[in-house]
Amino acid sequence: MKNLTLLLFSLTVSVFLVEVAFRVAGFGTRELTPDRFFRDGEETTWSVPDPQLGWINKAGVSVSIEAGEAPMTFWDQGRRATRAYPSEPQEGIPVMLVGGSNAQSYGVADQQTFPFVLGQRFPEMWIENFGNGGYSTVQARLMAERVVNEFYGGAAPELIILTFADSHVVRNVSDQSWVYSISDSQGRYVSPPHFRMDGDQLAFRSFKAIGPWPLETSSALITTMHNVWMQSFLFNSIEESVPVTRRVLGQFYEYAKAIGSDFLVVILEDRTQISERVFEGMSFPTLDCSGYERSNPEEYLLGGNGHPNAKLHTHFADCLGSWVAEYFESRLQKGAG
């Protein structure tokens, strides 16, 4: 008993000294800080939790936290407003838009978003915007499958437009750089639904919240151990990001073909210029509307470093509008043929 007591005392002192050393070296404890986008009951909270997707746009009006504090209107099933009323027109050529915050059009008023502008320019097009902030390509695909069944009633839209940003590649594999940047309403890290490579096959991993280890919020040592575990083992997945993204895109295209939808990927943001590697050799059409976020951020981004502003959304509408006009023309020619 005496030896056991001495051992426990020695271990306690050792752990205490290590804890002091970690704190002196600048290592801190885990802080549970809710993400500003996901806090409960605030006017800037645009989302609600979703067990499959992680989160989804919350019906109602939310206020942007970026320059201008624009009000943003969301309808049921995660749709961003694309016209004055959600029940109209629901006629014409149905077009589904999915993607992340650029598709969601975070930070600009409803009438300034490129999907709203496109709907005004092309009244023959019935466009629904299911873009959700923070989504990856994986989440966009899951959203598309859901709304085909639940919103469109199993009747596939004529055209699916997927927006792409270079940040999506790390989201598609839930790399540590993404996991550490988001937290839920309780301040826990979250790992959205994603894929990893298992040999030469894709392996799906569902959404999960990552709470602190016991005593992590009061111990720099335990916090560091948890961080090392996540960074070195659980979420060290950057090397898989491009091959996984290419496969996910390919699967999305095959899904669109299987349900009878045309498919377009529009690149809205490519700060790292990785899109060439991602889309090289792909068999589906891609449209690159990016560039101003790199060449002139002060003029085209909210606050100079945020999401696209109204001017950049006008550019998106012009860029995508030219493609849409050709798309409709080709449809008319096929119909006449």
Return d(Cα 331, Cα 337) in angstroms, integer. 10
Rounded mean pLDDT, 329-335:
73
Chain mean position to CA 79: 15
What is the pTM for the complete model shown? Answer: 0.93
Dihedral sign from CA coordinates of 138, 142, 147, 148: positive
Question: Per-residue pLDDT for 88 more than 80?
Answer: no
pLDDT-based confidence at residue 289 (cuts at 50, 70, 90): very high
Q: Say what the pLDDT of residue 232 is.
A: 93
Neighbours of 325 (CB within 10 A): 12
pLDDT-based confidence at residue 329 (cuts at 50, 70, 90): confident
List all residues 6 or more positions away from 320 whose beta carbon is below 8 Å from its beta carbon: 114, 118, 161, 266, 287, 289
Strands (E), the chain: 47-50, 54-57, 60-63, 71-74, 93-98, 125-129, 159-165, 189-191, 194-198, 201-205, 208-210, 262-269, 286-288
State whether residue 9 is helix, strand or coil.
Answer: helix
Is 105 or 4 the better-scoring residue by pLDDT?
Answer: 105
- Average pLDDT of every residue of the chain: 93
Q: Say what the pLDDT of residue 188 is.
A: 96
Chain mean position to CA 327: 27
Question: Per-residue pLDDT for 139 more than 90?
Answer: yes
Q: What is the pLDDT of residues 156-167, one digit of tens each?
A: 999 999 999 999
Return d(Cα 166, Cα 274) in angstroms, integer. 6
DSSP 96: E
pLDDT-based confidence at residue 2 (cuts at 50, 70, 90): low
Q: Which CATH architecture has domain 47-210+239-336?
A: 3-Layer(aba) Sandwich (3.40)
Rounded mean pLDDT, 196-215:
96
Q: What is the share, in percent, of the chain residues with pLDDT greater than 90? A: 84
Return d(Cα 169, Cα 30) in angstroms, integer. 27
Q: Report the 3 state secondary structure along 197-262.
A: EECCEEEEECCEEECCCCCHHHCHHHHHHHHHHHHHHHCCCHHHHHHHHHHHHHHHHHHHHHHCCE
Q: Give the start-to-end residue ranges of the domains of the chain.
A: 47-210+239-336
Q: Bridge partners of 126?
A: 94
pLDDT-based confidence at residue 122 (cuts at 50, 70, 90): very high
Chain mean position to CA 155: 25
Count the alpha carbons within 13 Å of 336 in the hemisphere toward its beta carbon: 6
Question: Per-residue pLDDT for 113 more than 60?
Answer: yes
Q: What is the share, in percent, of the chain residues with pLDDT greater than 70? A: 95
Rounded mean pLDDT, 284-311:
97
Q: Say what the pLDDT of residue 331 is.
A: 77
Return d(Cα 165, Cα 152) in angstroms, integer. 26
Q: Say what the pLDDT of residue 40 is.
A: 82
- Kindly report the backbone phi and psi dihedral angles of residue 131, in degrees, each rounded to the nearest multiple of 5, phi listed first: -70, 135
Structure tokens at 88: 């109209």
pLDDT-based confidence at residue 104 (cuts at 50, 70, 90): very high
Q: What is the pLDDT of residues 217-240, one digit of tens each?
A: 999 999 999 999 999 999 999 999
Return d(Cα 98, Cα 264) in angstroms, integer. 11
DSSP 159: E
Count the alpha carbons within 13 Å of 25 in the hemisphere toward its beta carbon: 11
Rounded mean pLDDT, 258-263:
97
Q: Say what the pLDDT of residue 214 is.
A: 95
pLDDT-based confidence at residue 22 (cuts at 50, 70, 90): confident
